[in-house]
Amino acid sequence: MNASPADQRRLVEVAQLDARIRHADNARKNPPQASRVQELLSRRQELSRELSTRLGVRDDLRAELARIESDVVVVDARAARDTERLAASSNSKQAQGFESELAALARRKSDLEDAELAVMERLEAADAAVAEQEALIAATNAEGSELSAEGKRAVAEATAAFDAATRDRAAIAGTVPADLLALYERVAARSAGAALLRRRTCEGCHMVLSGTDLNALRQTPEDEVVTCPECGCILVRDEESGL
């Protein structure tokens, strides 16, 4: 196939725009923040499960503390009642019974207060554990929100680049002869499509051509469409080709 050098050079522009389009399309579909956002989502699920466990421990301790406090109220009420009865009693045997029960209630209250103190210490640690987990979740959410915002900006920028390159590509491709463009499309399915030959190197595959291949190109008319012997893309020659 023959084509003017100018038309062949426009193919290089089309190829460069196609590369920009592919890059922008990949960038908008796979923003660099996406993988980290997925990691953070998984991390947040793990943290949330652990938070649920810690909340359960704290709730159990709160319930236990409430039960102990309730028992203390009951003991105090019984002690107050027995104290009143002891004060009003004139029967020594009955008074001795009240005194014995009051001593038992005092021991019971002491045991409850010891248990209450132990539970309060455990509850303080449980509160700290919950707060620690909530702080981790908040930090994870903050990072996720920031990365999501960055990802949206990256997608918007990539989409704008994609649209601009697509418009430019359509404008330039519209000036290329249909048969030449069709050849380019076929070749582009398995290579860079079209590339300059610069200093004896194909810019499509970055391979230096052999002396035999270069000699063959020197003998080929400039309006004849040639392909790279290494990668198969349309090889466009100019004054910097080194022929």
Q: How confident is the model at residue 24 (pLDDT cuts 50, 70, 90)?
A: very high
Is 169 contained in some domain?
no
Is 220 contained in some domain?
yes
pLDDT digit string, tens, across residues 102-123? 899 999 999 999 999 999 999 9
pLDDT digit string, tens, across residues 36-52? 999 999 999 999 999 99
One domain for residues 107 and 70? yes
Is 134 contained in some domain?
yes
One domain for residues 34 and 144? yes
Is 191 contained in some domain?
yes
User: Of 47, 3, 14, 71, whose CA–CA distance to 139 is shortest?
Assistant: 47
Q: In total, how many domains does the chain have?
A: 2
One domain for residues 88 and 149? yes
Residue 203: what pLDDT? 94
Residue 99: what pLDDT? 84
Is 160 contained in some domain?
no
pLDDT digit string, tens, across residues 126-182? 999 999 999 999 999 999 999 999 999 999 999 999 999 999 999 999 999 999 999
Instruction: Output the domain CATH number for residue 126.
Output: 1.10.287
One domain for residues 82 and 20? no
One domain for residues 17 and 34? no
One domain for residues 101 and 208? no
One domain for residues 43 and 15? no
Last residue of a domain, one of 125, 154, 183: 154
Higher pLDDT, 191 or 88: 191
One domain for residues 136 and 68? yes
Is 14 contained in some domain?
yes
One domain for residues 38 and 85? yes
One domain for residues 120 and 41? yes
Is 62 contained in some domain?
yes
Last residue of a domain, one of 98, 119, 154: 154
pLDDT digit string, tens, across residues 170-214? 999 999 999 999 999 999 999 999 999 999 999 999 999 998 999
Residue 114: what pLDDT? 96
Q: What is the extent of the structural domain holding 89?
A: 30-154
One domain for residues 117 and 223? no
Q: Residue 209, Cβ neighbours under 10 Å: how many? A: 21
Verdict on whether the full-model pTM lies above 0.85: no
Instruction: Work out the average pLDDT over 58-72.
Output: 96
Q: How confident is the model at residue 90 (pLDDT cuts 50, 70, 90)?
A: confident
Last residue of a domain, one of 121, 154, 187: 154
One domain for residues 63 and 142? yes
Is 206 contained in some domain?
yes
